[in-house]
Amino acid sequence: MSTATPTEALHAQLGLVAGRRPRGLIEVRYRLTGGRTGMGQAWLPCRDPEPYLGTVLGLGAQTDTYVGAAPRTERNGAKQSVRRSWCLWVDCDDEAAASRLREFRPAPSLLLRSGRDGGLHGWWALREPLSAPYQLERALRRLAHHLSADSACCDSGRIMRAAGTFNFKRDTPVAVEVERLECDTFTTLQVVGQLPDPPRPARPAPMIRPAAIARGDDPLLSIAPTVYVEALTGREVGRDGKLVCSFHEDRTPSLHVYDTPERGWTCFGCSRGGSIIDFGAALYGIEPRGAGYHELRRRLATDLLGARAAA
């Protein structure tokens, strides 16, 4: 175990996020208390987060507290506000995956015990940033696949537990502690260049209701929520209509998928929800307005309707 204090650990983690040429904002997200539901947000300047360390640690002593793993360009926690990343990360949420992470080379710059069932978070500081979200997410998927880690943590807008805080998901809070902290930096090639891409999940054929086709309804809006959620995430919806949400750290499935396109989907963890358009907007990080709306339709049509053009 590292001898780093909570303040030193958090300072090091925020330094990884901010990178060598810091600009933008570091998101801090925390679970609301006092009978309130949902998550609160705070924003730290990448150039000098040090004055705010005590505030973050104070939050983390009372409730689950997270930091955005990549800097934000604006006060928006969605992935569309991420333009580059100065680090790679992985969430090994069981002891077997954590053991593989400890043996992985190059060893991470930062290893954090997540406070849950032997879980371990690994962070690699990069010498130069990854400036395209799709490149970042591909690298993260390679790491997660190789280590059998949590694939839900491979989106560019991911939040991860803040070092020096506590995990409150058990009756007794457990500290999020540093296991390893070094000043090592790497190229992306050094970390994931030899790792294969994970196999793409098979996508079920969209279930478009015949009656909707006969009426000439919008084919995208006629796809059953279970079908588009499973196809776009590669995860299976449970018999109870629930699955782990892709848009926040979600240990217990909080995303509810309903039986009709009209009802759509709702996540009771991050308060997102709506139609297939809303799901695509959150997943792709595209604002569903103006030109963004048409780009969303094009992406959804490509992914769900076999590249048939969307009107």
Say whether pLDDT at 116 is over 80. no
In CATH, what is the architecture of 6-192? 2-Layer Sandwich (3.30)
Q: Are 6-192 and 210-304 in the same CATH fold?
A: no
Whether the bond between 288 and the residue before it is cis, its omega within 30 degrees of 0, is no
- The ranges assigned to domains in the chain are 6-192, 210-304
Sign of the torsion formed by the C-alpha atoms of 151, 78, 240 and 233: negative
If residue 179 lies in a helix (H) or strand (E), which one and from where to where? strand 177-181
pTM of the model: 0.69
In CATH, what is the architecture of 210-304? Alpha-Beta Complex (3.90)
Which range (26-30, 177-181, 191-195, 222-226) has the least confidence? 222-226
140-157 pLDDT tens trace: 999 999 999 998 888 888
As a whole number of angstroms, the distance between CA 86 and CA 285 comes to 19
187-205 pLDDT tens trace: 999 999 999 988 865 545 4
As a whole number of angstroms, the distance between CA 87 and CA 122 comes to 10
47-75 pLDDT tens trace: 999 999 999 999 999 999 999 999 999 99
Helices (H), 148-255: 188-192, 210-215, 225-233
Chain-wide mean pLDDT for the chain?
87
The closest of 126, 120, 91, 92 to 106, measured between CA atoms, is 126
Say whether pLDDT at 11 is over 60. yes
As a whole number of angstroms, the distance between CA 142 and CA 262 comes to 36
The closest of 120, 67, 92, 88 to 185, measured between CA atoms, is 88
Q: What does the pLDDT read at residue 309?
A: 39
